[in-house]
Amino acid sequence: MNESIERIRRLADLGRADTALVGGKNASLGEMIRNLTQAGIRVPDGFATTADAYREFIAHNDLEVPMTEKLAELAPDQRNLAGIGEAVRAMILDGELQPPLVEEVLAAYRGLPGRRSRRGASVAVRSSATAEDLPEASFAGQLDSFLNVRGEAALLDAIKRCFASLFTDRAIIYRQNNGFEHMQVALSVGVQIMVRADKGGAGVMFSIDTETGFPRSVMIDAAWGLGETVVQGMLEPDRYAVFKPLLNDASLTPIIEKALGAKAQKMVYARGRGDVGEATSRLVKTSRKERDAYVLTEEEILTLARWACAIEDHYGQPMDMEWARDGEDDALYIVQARPETVQSRRERGRFRRYHLKSTGKQLLSGQAIGDAIASGHVCRLGSAAEIDRFKPGSVLVTGNTGPDWVPIMKRAAAIVTEHGGRTSHAAIVSRELGLPAVVGAEGAMSVLKDGAEITVSCAEGATGCVYEGTADFDIEDIDLGSIAQTRTRVMLNLANPAAALQWWQLPADGVGLARMEFIIGNAIQVHPMALLKPEAVTERKALRQIQTLTRGFDDPADYFVDTLARGLARIAAVFHPLPTIVRMSDFKTNEYAELIGGAAFEPDEENPMLGWRGASRYYSAGYREGFALECRAIRQAREELGFTNIVIMIPFCRSPDEADQVLGVLADNGLIRGRDGLEVYVMAELPANVLLATEFAERFDGFSIGSNDLTQLILGVDRDSELLSTVFDERNPAVMKAIAQLLAAARESRTHTGLCGQAPSDHPEFARFLVEHGIDSISVTPDSFVSVKQVVIDIERELDAPGAAADADR
């Protein structure tokens, strides 16, 4: 044997530069032990065999030629892959570890610190390829690991099995597909003190949002027991998200998502001798207590998030990590860290537009939602209960949608509904998911046949069309960095926290409208009074649903507050520290009644649109306690989570006296206008708000014009009436005169003004009118942001042009 070969390295003596020696995984572990332990990050101690030790093993057993010859027999279509892989692995498993390696491994194993038994320390034995965790390739998941290995014979067996795992079928295919020479890749084996996660918990963590690429959040998944269940996607884990910019303030807990997973099972150590040839772990069912409890405390969530930030800062790039919590000492550990290779490599700063070139026969039309185009096979569903019939990438066709449909909508390529308009559930969700949708497409359920290939186009203006077959279209990518700044702020309307982060790249000036009721209807689902007064709910089904939704909370009311607070915080995080204007709940009584347990607390009104809604609910005996929960959620989001950029907005406020009562209730609940920078706006959506603008301006910091309701009430038109759809128009002279009057009064009182209706998106001339009359901000749906922003840029340039002021005077 060659005595100059370095066969073993302590992890603490390794660093990133040692990838060729011990593979990416082990080099990264050593890097963290050497450089991040002073930051409080714990990494289990251990050692690694080197790539040279693996090559020496191959040479010691004269395997290079027979392995090369066998691998050369792999057919181009890989039909004989299983036999080739099995034969190569058998060669390795039949070989013997060279004596010098055995001697050095056992010496290092005997010297490991920590808890020991008569048979030796319990260790994790993991494979680390020399071509692993490179920017252009990741071998993660291709190689084998062995947990809870105890005893010298079991350790040596595990090392040989790791060597063999370099030639699992999936590893062979991966190398072949990525251009790696089989015999040029070597293997290192990492041996670490085993963290007793079987008695605690474990999971994965990313320093970037893996769905949207949002760089300012840490994502953590957690389950009971060993982390393999999470890594392999075997269960629904808890999920947490932490907003990185606020982590340095020790007084805050900026956890913007905290979702309780089902966690139906966990992986624990199997009872046995610890030999690798036996099963060293097994799956068992979790207890009800475990299923109903979060794996991590808030303190632990924040600790892991801070570690993720420190690791990301050290490596200078987003990272993918695995963590574990020892159930015996309750200590947290990082057990792996590698570069994140999906979102971090995507091109940033670009936006997409669609241009239709040619189509098949037009089958249907309706109102276009979004501006995208998508093709797919029709899947007609009568109810959300048919979710199992829906194939991802299909076009959802149905009568209308509600909160129960969201899981299906997330899997759709496009959406077509027979009913609904621009303010319908289908329209709102489609916009935020970035899906093209055609709503109000009469006859969709009969005209569109299951399985038929169709194209849904929303790229032709206000009318959306459904075409037969697959259309031909172009996609234009826009450089967002080239979009100029404007005096008039262009903001976004957002409602769904789950979809909010996908718009983080848009150069928006904040969130002009965050709809609280959307979070209540979709995430919370329960009427707040039903949580406060469950004795009034008589329907057994509703009581069972409430019990299921509120599991994990000692007080059901806390479920409402916590879910709402984190949902609002997630929206407020997108453009933090720019403002996020949160409209307090604006359900009508019929909509409140549809919430779980809601029927017991809502009257039956003939005209809910003009009934008990908005401000009038907040101070009334029938809802005041429910409003107090909304206020608690706002306080939690601002004071505990740290999102002081949240602005409160009061909808449907009919008079200055009503405004005084609402402001009083807010103050009673700790939300005092002006304290800690809190601003309170009012929706300007009633003629009274315009006529008494000066009086309202004395009580509020800003107006947000709700053009839909304002148009409805000035013209006396039901905005949801299909018969009167041609009459409903925000550009009506009466509506525009009212808006101009409000803007003038607000300018006089130096009160902020904004508009959060659909009109600027649909009508460029309406946007021009607003800018010319000095509105401070326009808030639009994400799909129309770029086009509206460009309109505002063009208008401001025209107004700033030499002679423009003189022309305006003439």
C-alpha to C-alpha distance for 525 and 597, rounded to whole angstroms: 9
- C-alpha distance across the termini of the chain, in Å: 98
User: How many other CB atoms sit within 10 Å of the CB of residue 99?
Assistant: 10
Question: Is the pLDDT score of 775 beyond 90?
Answer: yes
pLDDT tens, residue by residue, 638-660: 999 999 999 999 999 999 999 99
The answer to whether the beta carbons of residues 222 and 203 sit under 8 Å apart is yes
Which range has the worst mean pLDDT, 265-279, 334-348, 556-570, 767-781?
265-279
Beta bridge partners of 477: 352
Q: So what's the pLDDT on residue 234?
A: 78
| Mean pLDDT along residues 127-134 | 70
| Among 419, 425, 576, 752, the one annotated catalytic | 425
Beta bridge partners of 374: 456
| Residue closest to 241 by CA, chosen among 263, 220, 222 | 220
Contacts of 202 (CB under 8 A, 6+ apart): 195, 222, 223, 225, 226, 227, 230, 322, 323, 324, 325, 335
User: How many other CB atoms sit within 10 Å of the CB of residue 745?
Assistant: 21
Q: So what's the pLDDT on residue 502?
A: 82
C-alpha to C-alpha distance for 115 and 804, rounded to whole angstroms: 81
Helices 707-715 and 733-749: crossing angle in degrees, nearest 10, is 120
Per DSSP, 548 falls in state H
What pairing do the DSSP bridges indicate for beta strands 217-224 and 187-193? unpaired
C-alpha to C-alpha distance for 697 and 189, rounded to whole angstroms: 70
| Mean pLDDT along residues 524-547 | 95
More confident residue, 496 or 131: 496
Q: So what's the pLDDT on residue 137?
A: 44
pLDDT tens, residue by residue, 711-755: 999 999 887 777 887 888 889 999 999 999 999 999 999 999 999
The answer to whether the beta carbons of residues 790 and 739 sit under 8 Å apart is no
What's the pTM value of the predicted model, to 2 decimals? 0.83
| Among 162, 379, 465, 756, the one annotated catalytic | 756
Q: So what's the pLDDT on residue 114?
A: 65
Angle at 263 between CA 259 and CA 266, to 5 degrees: 145
Share of residues in the chain with pLDDT > 70 (%): 93
Catalytic residue flag (residue 756): yes
pLDDT tens, residue by residue, 601-610: 999 999 999 9
pLDDT tens, residue by residue, 651-684: 999 999 999 999 999 999 999 999 999 999 999 9
Q: Confidence band (pLDDT; 50, 70, 90) for 133?
A: very low
C-alpha to C-alpha distance for 492 and 510, rounded to whole angstroms: 7
C-alpha to C-alpha distance for 231 and 238, rounded to whole angstroms: 13
| Mean pLDDT along residues 493-515 | 91
The residue count of the chain comes to 810
How far is CA 735 from each of CA 414, 706, 732, 740, rounded to the nearest angstrom? 34, 11, 5, 9
Burial class (CB in 10 A: 0-12, 13-18, 19+), 414: buried
C-alpha to C-alpha distance for 192 and 112, rounded to whole angstroms: 9
pLDDT tens, residue by residue, 74-101: 888 778 888 999 999 999 999 999 999 9
C-alpha to C-alpha distance for 172 and 62, rounded to whole angstroms: 20
